[in-house]
Amino acid sequence: MELSTFWFLLIAVLFTGYFVLEGFDFGVGVLLRVLGRDDRERRVLINTIGPVWDGNEVWLITAGGAMFAAFPEWYATLFSGFYLPLLLILLALIVRGVAFEYRHGRDHAGWKDRWDWAITIGSVVPAVLWGVAFANIFRGVPLTADHEYAGGLLTLLNPYGLLGGATFLAVFVTHGALFLALKTAGDIRERANRLAGRAGLVAVLLAGTFLVWSLVLRANPAAVVLAVLAAVALVAGLAANRVRREGWAFAGTATAIALTVATLFTALFPEVMPSALDPAGTLTTANASSTPYTLTIMTWVAAVFTPIVLLYQGWTYWVFRKRLDTTHIPTTH
């Protein structure tokens, strides 16, 4: 296997991990004011992701760093052409992170209410915009022969891109609701379970349409198989939720998200950013990659540090595996 292909696969794995892990805490953030009826319940919801949300974002940082080093041409074109949506994602993530830290700074209802809205908006915006961004990368964007982006923000807001945004949001909300059903007890668990069932129906409809449209745009046999497996995993997860098997249900949506991302990357390969304007502007793993020497050094570094990071994050999830409910939250600070 060529090193450029290896790093394409590794970047796909990093984005898959990011969407699977950050997907459920985006979902929790979106549902904060829906499932959390009062301050104590909202604190329970925040505490379910409190120990892990920042670790989940490491996957995005690593994916961006790997893209910058392994495929600098891809990184430059993507981050310049998608500058505004990526900037909005960054700002939303900053506001969301600050809200997690500052919400408990004052025991005042208005203060907490404003930060709760910041968490909600800071979860909705990245979920939608990541869907829009990845749908457009897959569909193809107007790139000149010099790999320069020739469109604008409205270029990205096409029907397929908007469907991608709606799909990501619906699936993440379902994923987050199932995570809450898995991580909480009592009344919150019951409401999360019911909401996951309702949100899941919307997610199945949108995800099914998105996958079919994607395969119409570009497909190969492996991508078709992965898309079918993704649909089966999502439906199986919702079926498990109906019989109160939250662990299997959460595994189902996690698998569906992972297989959906795998479908997109599999159908895209060897292209990394197709041009809808000039075929000569299409970026591939061959013309967008770094030198073999750079890729070799990166491979050795990844081989040493990746297992350490995975073990540490797995240990974090194991330590904070217990269910939470309002009995763990004092009535006053």
Q: What is the pTM of this model?
A: 0.93
End-to-end C-alpha distance for the chain, whole angstroms = 57
How many residues does this entry show for the chain? Answer: 333
pLDDT of residue 331: 67
Residues 247, 222: Cα–Cα separation, whole Å: 28
pLDDT of residue 328: 64
Give the per-residue SS3 of the chain.
CCHHHHHHHHHHHHHHHHHHHHHHHHHHHHCHHHHCCCHHHHHHHHHHHCCCHHHHHHHHHHHHHHHHHHCHHHHHHHHHHCHHHHHHHHHHHHHHHHHHHHHHHCCCHHHHHHHHHHHHHHHHHHHHHHHHHHHHHHHCECECCCCCECCCHHHHCCHHHHHHHHHHHHHHHHHHHHHHHHHECCHHHHHHHHHHHHHHHHHHHHHHHHHHHHHHHCCCHHHHHHHHHHHHHHHHHHHHHHCCCHHHHHHHHHHHHHHHHHHHHHHHCCEEECECCCHHHCEECCCCCCCHHHHHHHHHHHHHHHHHHHHHHHHHHHHCCCCECHHHCCCCC
Residues 100, 118: Cα–Cα separation, whole Å: 9
Separation in Å, CA 209 to CA 205, 251, 255: 6, 22, 18
pLDDT of residue 307: 87
pLDDT of residue 228: 95
pLDDT of residue 26: 94
Residues of the chain where predicted confidence (pLDDT) is lower than 50: 333
Token pair 């000569």 is found at 280
pLDDT of residue 332: 59
The answer for 186, left when phi > 0, alpha when psi is -120 to 50, beta otherwise, is: left
pLDDT of residue 150: 84
Answer whether 211's CB lies under 8 Å from 170's CB.
no
Token digits of residue 282: 């299409």
Answer whether 8's CB lies under 8 Å from 272's CB.
yes
Token digits of residue 323: 């269910």
Residues 121, 96: Cα–Cα separation, whole Å: 8
Rg (CA), the chain: 20
Residues 223, 235: Cα–Cα separation, whole Å: 19
Cβ atoms within 10 Å, residue 190? 13
Residues 192, 185: Cα–Cα separation, whole Å: 10
Residues 98, 119: Cα–Cα separation, whole Å: 9
Phi, psi angle pair for 329, to nearest 5°: -110, 120
Residues 266, 223: Cα–Cα separation, whole Å: 6
